[in-house]
Structure 1
Amino acid sequence: MKKTIVIVDDHLLIAKALEGIIDNFQDFQVIYVAENGQNLIDKFQSNHEIPDIILMDISMPIMDGFESVLWLKKNHPDVKVMALSMQGDDNSVIKMIKNGAKGYLLKNTHPRDLETALIKLKDDGFFYPEWASKIIFSNINNDGINEKVVKISEREKEFLTYTATELSYKEIAEKMACSPRTVESYRDQLCEKLDLKSRVGLAVFALKNGFAKS
């Protein structure tokens, strides 16, 4: 079954062009377009279908992307938001991620790369291209990371070296010559040991503690 997508963008021509591109992807379909965050909320409250993924512009009238993704985080946390904007500055990226976006792309992204990003968002729960990852890792602080000394096995250390890459868990398993379930166990064990909740947290820990290269 295809994953459903809603596009939130005040530029109708861009939104419709995106809709046409995405509807040609094998695993995704656009179910409707909203002009801004308030329009999206109105559609949700009038019993429009809740999508699996939202492609969210940032600069919009009435209710912008920053406010919209924060509202979604509070009211529909299962919906994955991918920011899709012309704005690639540090402040925009960090604010969108902190407010709840699970991915970030620029509007000049090639359709093939957009499809890849959506697949990774669907499978892994997040997607940040290399340029966005560098912004996140260079700006994020240590909040939520337990600095106490913990015992990390050699295999867990090896797993940590891959957390800051764009590899999926399946691809990491192939690199480590083990099953995806084993990789997931490394993730879960490290999250418990380090008091972390996501791969982003693991990647930050790996970078700050010399387990991975930035």
Structure 2
Amino acid sequence: MDCQFDSGGVWAIPLHQRPDLLEPCADLVNSEWQRSHGARVHALQKSCQEFPVALVLLQGSGNRDGGDGETLLGHVRLSRVVSRPGSLFVESVVVSKAQRGKGYGRTLMQETERYSKARGFLRLCLTTHDKQHFYAHLGYVLSMPVQNAGVMASFMPMEVLERFSKLPGTDDTQGECPARLVFQTLEETPYRDAKGVPIFWMHKDI
């Protein structure tokens, strides 16, 4: 069952329960990571009960069906982690530029944790290029890489993903790289994204 949370007029709900927000949500995400509007809407339409889930943070009436004066504050995407049934991967975390500096980033992450915990998950994993101190203040710690199932999980069984989508050296039972000496601090990381840009891996038990 999907969940809706209300925190004093600021509330989170899965996007697939509010298809009327697809277009404005696409504009919000594109304001941070530019992509064609049509492609962004198509990606957001993949939000579903079985993951990936796009969560939106709203301010207004708290009515599931929408209401006057409602404001779209933020978005986050959640997907399964390969070989880690109790974990979700957090990505595309964005708060409207007009609403930044008001604490909504923290609220968005808190609502994401509440939603994930209500769905029975125990850990959230994420990567960041430059917001590692923000996440550290929220209780996230540096960690080893994991595999994000992404939209593949919506049409490919998890056991197939586990078999063919392993990270080099991944432990079959844990879904993480085996323990080894890795120098990663909040200031320096050995990990790089697909473009070669330094990236920090973090997680939080919820």
Q: Do the structures match in fold with TM over 0.5?
A: no
Normalized per residue, the structure richer in helix is 1
Normalized per residue, the structure richer in strand is 2
TM-score normalised according to structure 2 size: 0.33
TM-score normalised according to structure 1 size: 0.33
**Structure with bigger gyration radius:** 1
